[in-house]
Structure 1
Amino acid sequence: MASASISTSSFSSKSTTFFIFVCIMFLSVSVAESVPVNETRFKPLEELKNRRVRAHLKKINKPSVKTIQEPLYERPKGHNSSDEILERIQLWTESNEFCPDGTIPIRRTTEKDILRANSLKRFGRKIRRVRRDTMNGGHEHAVGFVNGNRYYGAKANMNVWSPRVTEPYEFSLSQLWVISGSFGHDLNTIEAGWQVSPELYGDGYPRFFTYWTTDAYQETGCYNLLCSGFVQTNNRIAIGAAIYPRSSYKGRQFDIGVMIWKDPKHGHWWLQFGSGMLIGYWPSFLFSHLQKHASMIQFGGEIVNSRSRGHHTYTQMGSGHFASEGYGKAAYFRNLQVVDWGNSLVPLSNPHLLADHPNCYSIKAGKNNVWGNYIYYGGPGRNGGCP
């Protein structure tokens, strides 16, 4: 096993405002470090806490690593992958410095990152949600979805905003979900998109993110590369990096492409970002139900409403404006597609629409010859109709 190599290359001052990197080999294989009870029984509680935080940081930032060969894969039919364009959609790439071949960029986790979470166990994980069709744990959604069939992936373009998040333990995100199992203890999900999470990143910038779970957010899975699972193979895109540029109200609209699909050859779930950039894959063995196929696909937004002040949060979803305002004002997903049993991309037809609290965050769907199937979604949170 080789040690992780730390990149000491300098970055532009603008880039380092948002990102500190280490470059490691393709696959992190780490063993959780624990503090022996007999060594800490008489230690002060604060010292024990600090030791555990440092041990967790060591595991995340300097894991044992091994190189792997990227497995063969087959992209869905109907996808044009002839040209993989390195777009300037992440601030750190403005320095024109990338990790060497055989390594990947990883956002360096700091002690402050961990201490912002309520607990070490919670760090890098979503608060558990029991059901998708009710508000639970403060999570609210405005999504378009399809179910009742077998799905092998999804693709869409989503525009990027900087929604306001008003409480430290809240977040606002826009993503696509690949789902299987029941909304109980055996829920399997794969998720990717952009999010604003002050707790996780310490700022209010929209960042490219991934998530997965195989037991309804209880014990398995995490954001980005904060636990073993997702295998990144791309050295030019950093998961967790700030996205730039962003959309502006009544101004320029900027969107990113995301595709997740199940490779028919090996069964792994692959992630593509931007214009054909393969990021990596979730191995099939991580999952139970998703070893076969997905039973639901969702597109849209999610926020956490903590009600910490006794009323609905002011946290925004999408642009912070309702779906009815339309282009240039509301957030959107366009070119909604799913991957069918024949590994072909097909348009999403007649999506179901669900807004947990439509006076806070709304959604509407449409179709035209340029965008195909699309949705507008989002809202301001607390307002006259959303107490």
Structure 2
Amino acid sequence: MHQTYEGTYFGFVATLDVYGFEINYSQRIISSVWIVNRGPNDNLEENAIRIGWQVFPELYGDSHTHFFTYWTRDSYRTTGCYNMRCPGFQLTLGSKITPGDVISPVSDVDGARQKITIKVSREKSTGDWWIYYGFNSAPTVVGYFPANLFTNLSEKATSILFGGSVLAVDGASTPPMGSGLLPSILSDKAASIEDILLVDEDGKIAPFDVKTIKDETSDLCYAMTPIFGESTSRCLYGGPGGCVVG
């Protein structure tokens, strides 16, 4: 993942390639954006919103790719949930998608790319965080996380993260991430996060002109490029997995 340095942030936009894999109940694949305010005590008071796509058989009962949201206000300890499985996320009437819905079709490594564009923006007057989604199109509103869900995030985010994560338990091998291929300057088949932008306090789109920390937990399995591009910010990420046993 890429993570911004600690600062003040009010929103983010990015377009993510979407892929799908057949995996088992011991595995999980996620590509997402995190909007975070860690508060005065990182271990107890992190407020976070997470949005993106995931393959999560244990949660959904299938290996389809799903659009998801997640929230917490106490570092994932006792609050929050995926999608609308607990009170929290407020769906807007007429939204084209509901958190938890299947995304279809998905990208073909050797063919067409399918993309979702995610926009997350804090409403200045209320402190609510609005979520927008577009499938191969400009994002439209899905709903919002009310300010009263949070202790600190209603005022601002202090960090933004974006990238991929995977999980394997019970001795399963780790699944693929992104397209299942490591990023390479010799190939365009790795998953892309592109058109990366910020949203300012007044809700206006701004260039992504901040530095980030790049984190690769196991760079033999998964890797991520630096952010590059002159007219638009972009990075590549992913890998085949299978080299770490959980």
The TM-score, its normalising length taken from structure 1, stands at 0.58
> Residue 83 of structure 2 is aligned with which of 221, 224, 229?
224
In structure 2, distance between residues paired with 1:290 and 1:305: 30
Alignment of 1:1-387 (within 5 A): 143-165=1-23, 167-181=24-38, 182-235=41-94, 236-274=96-134, 275-306=138-169, 308-309=170-171, 313-324=173-184, 328-349=188-209, 350-369=211-230, 372-383=232-243
In structure 1, distance between residues paired with 2:221 and 2:93: 38
State which structure, 1 or 2, has the greater radius of gyration over its C-alpha atoms.
1
| 1:285 positional shift | 0.7
Q: Which has the larger share of helix?
A: 1
Instruction: State percent identity of aligned pairs.
Output: 32
Q: Give the direction of change, closer, same or farther, for the CA distance of 1:151–1:243 in structure 2 (3 Å limit).
A: same
Code of the aligned partner of 2:189: K
In structure 2, distance between residues paired with 1:245 and 1:325: 27
The answer to whether the 8 Å contact 1:252/1:328 transfers is no
Please list every run of 5 or more consecutive structure 2 residues that lacks an aligned counterpart in the other structure.
Answer: none
Q: Give the direction of change, closer, same or farther, for the CA distance of 1:324–1:164 in structure 2 (3 Å limit).
A: farther
How many residues align? The count is: 238
CA RMSD of aligned residues (A): 1.8
The answer to whether the 8 Å contact 2:183/2:239 transfers is yes
Describe the superposition over 1:223-266 as per-residue Cα deviations: whole angstroms up to 9, x where unpaired: 00000011101333222111112111122111110011100121
Q: Which has the larger share of strand?
A: 2
Please list every run of 5 or more consecutive structure 1 residues that lacks an aligned counterpart in the other structure.
Answer: 1-142
The answer to whether the 8 Å contact 1:365/1:373 transfers is no
Code of the aligned partner of 1:367: F
The answer to whether the 8 Å contact 2:166/2:174 transfers is no
Q: Give the direction of change, closer, same or farther, for the CA distance of 1:248–1:177 in structure 2 (3 Å limit).
A: same
| 1:327 positional shift | 5.6
Question: Larger RCO: Structure 1 or Structure 2 (Cα < 8 Å, ≥ 6 residues apart)?
Answer: 2
